[in-house]
Structure 1
Amino acid sequence: MRTVTYDHPLAARIAAAFDTVDVVSPEPGEIPTDLAGSERIVDAIAAKLGPIGAFKLGATIAQVRATLGLPKQFFGPIPQSRIFPDGGDVPAVVARQRGVESEYAFRLGRDLTAADADLDLPGLIAAIASVHPSIEVPGSRFSGLGAHGGFGLVADTGAVGSLVVGPGSPLGDPARLTDAPVILEIEGQDPVPGGGAVIDGGPIGPLLAFVKTALARGYALKAGQYIVSGSCTGYVDVPLGKRVTARFPALDAAVTMRFTDAA
């Protein structure tokens, strides 16, 4: 990623709290009043977090954007250190709020650079090496998710927490992801149904806009990084220690995790 010269006291405090359980309390006037201001804070934080392993897309559903008062989707950079393998335990320090979302994760097969500024959808599809079942764990450095409105949520790296990624398979026809269900199962509870159709344009629909925006903001999009679609099942709270399984019939695959109180 390019060197970021912009700095902001809120960005410094969020970055410092990222790998702790400290709660950040914004001072009056620190929360931006527009999306551009929030994005500048995200970029300043991202420059302090180390290698990026994935990008989470947020507000990829029109109703969510309306609720948050956001004019368009956003993204948050997920550090490589916050990506867990299938079956992994997610510790408390990276699970400030114990909730999960079921998402498709697209792994890039090549670097995307400034030369890809005019990339079209077929070109993007060709650049995707594989698609994976994943469970996103949102996490806010503030007192809670959405505690300071939509622009505050975006400024807090889009509430980046962690990501659990399952086995990959070739993308094939992206339409199959839109049409298929996604099922979230939490040990001891009824399954939560969902699907890719809730996302604008299906799971792959928000990716091209993300790529163009990220490149314009100076991010390096590298082979092996994941782009995560946005939630197919909504946000669901999970009791400590309970096994979570997200099933993706379109991929004939599933991904599992649980929360642990281990440091």
Structure 2
Amino acid sequence: MIQQIETAHRTALRQLAEELLEASQLRRAIAPLRSRLASMNLQDAYDIQTLQLQEHLTEGRVLAGRKVGLTSLAMQQQLGVDQPDFGFFFEDMVHGDGAQVPAADFISPKVEPEFGFVLGRTLMGPKVTREQAAAAVEAVYPAIEIIDSRIADWDIKLVDTVADNASCGAIAVGPAPLPVTLEDLAGTECTLRIDGRPRGTGTGAAVMGDPIAPLVWLADVLGEQGVALEAGQLILPGSFTAAQPVVAGESATADFGPLGSLTIHFV
């Protein structure tokens, strides 16, 4: 009987993963998962995420990196959660500075300004120290995450967004590293601009108090599953500001002032 219950539960998780894959492909949102599986917990949500990752890799997509989300108080308050989460993105989801990004590729996109850490060495948890995490960062780039929800009306709690790949839609990264030291990341300021108008400003300290902290957290969580952060991967540690919605015809800029900027255009 226990085995039958476990099998039924696993089947339910797989069904939800398939629904999210279809929702992403068709750009059609579905009902919150927590309302469909009353006993759903955080491990279930990550299992659903992993099932989708495995399907994408089977199809030949190439993992480009990972994102940590909900690391700022602003984002936690905006989405009604109280802890970080993480997701993945592929090479075909990464855009460059000046990119023309089709708004129709998303359901309800929003943008977040972030750092982008390129790893120069593999980082394997658990029990990674801050010093080890910092030493693994080869360069820091300006980045924008385009978040999107396959859950209707952004009606999400933590289990919903985790299962939905931490609401990851796409990534944009600048062509050159920011001229900033790791010791100065917390004090670095960034303004999110939509069509040139400021929509939010924050410092790196908004990202768990220290932008390296999410990298430590991610390496530890994945390390407990036997998964490493590989050299060459791009890691986004979290947003400086609350996310802002965008539509076709608008441009989004992560403005790091004298350090540089990154702009993408929604068409």
- How many pairs were matched up? 253
- The AA in structure 1 aligned to 2:47 is R
Q: Deviations over 1:34-86 (max 9, x none)?
A: 22221111111111123221211112134644665645311011122111111
Question: Residue 128 of structure 1 contacts residue 171 of structure 1 at CA under 8 Å; is this kept in 2?
Answer: no
AA partner of residue 218 (structure 2): F
In the alignment, the residues of structure 2 paired with residue 219 and residue 171 of structure 1 have an alpha-carbon distance, to the nearest angstrom, of: 30
SS in 2 for 1:192: strand
Q: In the alignment, which residue of structure 2 is the partner of 1:122?
A: 131
Q: Which structure has greater helix proportion?
A: 2
Per the normalisation by structure 1, the TM-score is: 0.85
Q: For the Cα contact (< 8 Å) 1:121–1:208, is it kept in 2?
A: yes
Identity of aligned residues (%): 28
Alignment equivalent of 2:143, drawn from 121, 134, 141: 134
Contact 1:20/1:93 (<8 A) preserved: no
The reply to whether residue 21 of structure 1 matches residue 27 of structure 2 is: yes
1:75 aligns with 2:82: no
Matched, 1:92 2:98: no
Structure 2, unmatched stretches of 5+, are: 1-10
CA distance in 2, matches of 1:70, 1:245: 26
Q: Is the 8 A contact 1:31 1:148 kept in 2?
A: no
Residue in 2 that maps onto 1:246: 254
Q: CA deviation at 1:15?
A: 2.0
- AA matched with 1:44: L
* 1:61 counterpart letter in structure 2: S
Instruction: Please give the residue correspondences for 1:34-113 in structure 2 after superposition, counting only pairs within 5 Å.
Output: 34-50=41-57, 51-62=62-73, 64-65=75-76, 68=79, 70=81, 72-113=83-124
- Please say if 1:212 is aligned against 2:223: no
Query: How many Å separate the matches in 2 of 1:199 and 1:71?
Result: 13
Residue pair 2:29, 2:152 contacting (<8 A) in 1 also: yes
Give the aligned residue type for 2:197. Q
Q: 1:140 to 1:40 in 2, by over 3 A?
A: same
Unaligned ranges ≥5, structure 1:
none
Kept in 2, the 8 Å contact 1:135–1:165? The answer is yes
What is the CA deviation profile of residues 179-210 of structure 1, one whole-angstrom value per residue up to 9, with x for unaligned ones? 12101222163453222121212222211011
Question: Residue 149 in 1 paired to residue 160 in 2?
Answer: no
Distance 1:34 1:162, change over 3 A: same
CA–CA distance in 1 between the matches of 2:98 and 2:56? Answer: 25
Whether the 8 Å contact between 2:73 and 2:206 is mirrored in structure 1 is: no
Change (3 A) 1:182 1:36: same
Aligned AA for 1:152?
A: D
| Structure 1 pair 68–240 and aligned structure 2 pair: CA distance change class (3 A) | closer
Say if 2:49 and 2:162, in contact at 8 Å, map to a contact too: yes
Aligned pair 1:192/2:200, yes or no? Answer: yes
Equivalents in 1 of 2:80, 2:31: separation in Å?
21
TM-score when normalising by structure 2: 0.83
SS at 1:167's partner residue? coil
Higher deviation after alignment, 155-164 or 178-187: 178-187
In 1: Cα distance, 2:249 partner to 2:74 partner: 32
